[in-house]
Amino acid sequence: MTAENLRTIELTRTAKGSYEAVNDRGGRLPFGDGSSTDFTPVELLLVAMAGCSAIDVDYLTSRLAEPTGFRVSGAGEKLSDEQGNHMGGITVTFDIQFPEGEDGDRARTRLPDAVARSRDRLCTVSRTVQLSAPVTYVTT
pLDDT tens, 40-58?
999 999 999 999 999 999 9
pLDDT tens, 17-33?
999 999 999 999 999 99
pLDDT (0 to 100) of residue 1: 73
Flag whether 103 is in a domain: yes
Cα dist from 104 to 56, 107, 118, 131, whole Å: 18, 5, 20, 34
Which residues are within 8 A (CB) of 70 and not within 5 positions of it... i.e. 6 or more apart?
Answer: 54, 58, 95, 96, 97
Flag whether 112 is in a domain: yes
Looking at the fold, whether 21 and 80 belong to one and the same domain comes out as no
* Residue span of the structural domain in which 81 resides: 40-131
Looking at the fold, whether 35 and 99 belong to one and the same domain comes out as no
pTM equals 0.92
pLDDT (0 to 100) of residue 3: 82
Q: How many domains does the chain have?
A: 2
Looking at the fold, whether 61 and 124 belong to one and the same domain comes out as yes
pLDDT (0 to 100) of residue 99: 98
Q: What is the mean pLDDT of residues 105-125?
A: 98
Looking at the fold, whether 28 and 78 belong to one and the same domain comes out as no
